[in-house]
Amino acid sequence: MIVYIDMDDVLCNFTEAFNQALALNPAIRFPQSQYRFFTALAPKEGAIEAVSALLASDRYDPYILTAPSVKNPLCYTEKRVWVGDHLGMEMVERLIICRNKSLLKGDYLIDDNVTGRRQEAFEGQLLHFGSAEYPDWRAVRDYLSV
């Protein structure tokens, strides 16, 4: 089964870094447009282990499916660097950067947003990361039995 995994606030802690950057410089309008913003993001708790478990499972075929911050051209490269640094080349080869998540065929999409990047039109099952049902990686792994 093909599983797509979102990056921001699913694999990496986007919101925490966003709020920290705003606290340091309240005048900044787009903290995510700063050089090295994406490479410096911290992994979410349990995310690295969950990807490893999905890769090791013979039932799942995991891919990363992330929408770019289009106003920051560096974000495309920085997302690739982050995946290489934290997850390795096997996941770099499984990195998909796409603004319309409904275009990809698969069984599951793990995403903290249910709309905005056409998540609602994804043909498989959307696991709403951070919701009451799937609050964290432990809950997602329990559901997928991995």
Question: Shortest gap between Cβ of 129 and Mg ion (angstroms)?
Answer: 8
Q: Cα–Cα distance between 76 and 101 in angstroms, integer?
A: 16
Which stretch in 31-39, 50-58, 89-97, 104-112 sits in contact with Mg ion by CB under 5 A? 104-112
Tell me how far CA of residue 95 lies from CA of 25, 26, 36, 44, 131, in angstroms: 32, 33, 19, 18, 24
Size of the site for Mg ion (CB under 5 A): 4
DSSP 93-146: TTEEE-S-GGGS--SEEEES-SSSSSGGG-SSEEEEBTSSSB-SHHHHHHHHT-
Q: Establish if 78 lies at the interface with Mg ion (CB under 5 A).
A: no
| Residue 11 in the binding site for Mg ion (CB under 5 A) | no
Which CB atom, from 44 or from 94, has the smaller least distance to Mg ion?
A: 44
| Two structure tokens written together for 140 | 């997602």
Residue selected from 11, 54, 79, 112 as contacting Mg ion according to rule CB under 5 A: 112
Judged by CB under 5 A, which stretch of 6-14, 36-44, 76-84, 87-95 contacts Mg ion?
6-14
Which residues form the interface with Mg ion (CB under 5 A)? Answer: 6, 8-9, 112
